[in-house]
Structure 1
Amino acid sequence: MAHTIHLHDPADPRLDDFRNLSTADRRPDRPGGRGFVIAEGTVVVRRLLESAYPVRALLGVQRRIEELTAELAPVDVPAYVTPAQTMADVVGFHLNRGVLAVADRAPQPHAGALIARARTLAVLESVGDHENLGSLFRNAAALGIDGVLLGPGCADPLYRRSVRVSMGNVLRVPFARLEPWPDGLGLLREHGFRVAALTPRPGSVSLREVRELDKVALLVGSEGPGLTEEALAAADLAVRIPMADGVDSLNVATAAAVAFYELGGAR
């Protein structure tokens, strides 16, 4: 069972895992980053506690820690309770959500293992914005996508902002790096997948025309530039979302959500 510890000194070394979270060296995707997984708010902390990621500690105000009593019962970790101002002094900013949890990383599956047990996958190229990436994972979880494969240029799904925007769903949806790029897409074909590149360019077919394929990997590119020519050439077909005249594209997470609904809903 988690042991509750009341602290008031922001300099207490037991709080070092939570210190100065807004500074660059605390980002796990930067050289020298600590590499921790950080959850913010009771909903996301619950998902972290339910996940395979080994939780190290919690930090929160009394009310938020009490809200997690049931989830903390089987967990042998410290739960540090501090006043809101002490928590802000430690973290480096005022946290409206009132509770944080920090965990070590867990091993991710290899791409081949993830592909072997899936029917519908998202494959991302150069999705470098943490908020877009978090939204993509939230949409994937909600709409029946079995996993996410990350190509070059993608942000770290376990960065704090991605975890928060995903509402903790990056902790639930399996993901793996797909290398080399784009030749690694051949691994999908070996497992019976068709690789469908989502693009508004002329010649692409309506997404609805591929709903009945048994296994589909939806290839999605970055906000703005979209997929590279190399990725498009490596795909089996190009698909688009039919839109009204005068609008040729959507935000990448929104476009992916529409596509996930079409593909996941059919399954």
Structure 2
Amino acid sequence: MLASRFVPRALLGTDRRLAELAADLEGVDVPFYRTSAEVMAAAVGFHLNRGVLASASRAPELSVAEVISGARTVAVLEGVNDHENLGSIFRNAAGLSVDAVVFGAGCADPLYRRAVRVSMGHALLVPFARAASWPGDLGLLQDNGFRVLAMTPDPAAATLSEAMPRLEGDRVAVLVGAEGPGLAEHTMRASDVRVRIPMSRGTDSLNVATAAALAFYERARLRG
């Protein structure tokens, strides 16, 4: 959080964690409230925790135009309303050279506590924005030179290994949908290419965060 655009208001933690974070907190003008491990467990809701909580103010929302400026690879989500999946996508994005995340219709709040925790804090660091028009803002991406890849289990779609090398020199937006319904048909029609991950017989798809990670990796691998 201290490296993000979200300004902390207060911290709550144990003496041990305060000592461990002393160097990081030097010069940070926020109160640190000390408490016991038992109170921390009650506040967090479970015993296995990192011993510190922070409260922060929400930063002003960024626009899609702001987060894609200078980006080469972005993730675009539709209907991803599970906080654990959302957090995992942010963690994958940070680790696999995705520059920003754009939310379409029906997505959960990336600043919900569980999403931030599962993301290992990367939901605070990877720039994100909500589309003002959906799926209209896919056109904004395309107008800015992005090729939009819609992930789908459709066997008629190009495979990831076929499609991604053709876009090596392009700006790329990886579009994923909610588990179960996937992407809406009108959203896929607005994309440039439909892409699938070949699956073993009897399984038609992967978890959305896993599927996104494979696409992110293939993109990062080709970019070197």
- TM-score over 0.5 (shorter chain): yes
Letter in 1 for 2:137: G
Cα distance change, pair 69–92 in 1 and its aligned pair in 2 (3 A): closer
Among residues 193, 197, 216, which one is paired with 1:237 in the alignment? 193
1:151 aligns to what? 104
- Corresponding residue for 1:261? 217
- Native 8 Å contact 1:114 1:175 kept in 2: yes
Instruction: State the distance in 1 between where 2:89 and 2:7 align.
Output: 24
Matched, 1:217 2:170: no
- Give 1:138's aligned residue: 91
* Higher mean displacement: 197-206 or 110-119: 110-119
Larger Cα-atom Rg: 1
Give unmatched runs, 5+ long, in structure 1: 1-47
The equivalent residue for 2:133 is 180
1:162 aligns with 2:115: yes
| Contact 2:90-2:122 at 8 Å conserved across structures | yes
Paired residues for 1:190-209 under 5 Å: 190-209=143-162
Instruction: State how far apart, in whole Å, the 1-side matches of 2:108 and 2:47 are.
Output: 23
- Tell me, in whole angstroms, the C-alpha distance in 2 between the residues paired with 1:93 and 1:130: 17
- AA matched with 1:242: P
Q: Is the 8 A contact 2:155 2:196 kept in 1?
A: no
Distance 2:46 2:219 in 1: 40
Matches within 5 A, 1:40-189: 48-88=1-41, 91=43, 93-97=45-49, 98-189=51-142
Residue-by-residue CA offset, 1:150-181 (whole Å, 9 max, x unaligned) = 00100000000000000000111100011211
CA distance in 1: counterparts of 2:5 and 2:27, whole angstroms: 14
Gap runs ≥5 in structure 2: none
One-letter amino acid of the structure 1 residue matched with residue 48 of structure 2:
N
How far 1:114 sits from its partner (Å)? 1.6
Aligned residue identity for 2:179? E
In the TM superposition, what is the alpha-carbon distance from 1:183 to its structure 2 partner? 1.4
User: Offset of 1:92 from its aligned partner?
Assistant: 6.6
CA distance in 1, matches of 2:13, 2:156: 53
Per-residue deviation at 1:95? 4.5
Contact 2:149 2:193 in 1 (8 A): yes
Q: TM-score, normalised by structure 2?
A: 0.93
Indicate the RMSD between aligned Cα atoms, in angstroms. 1.4
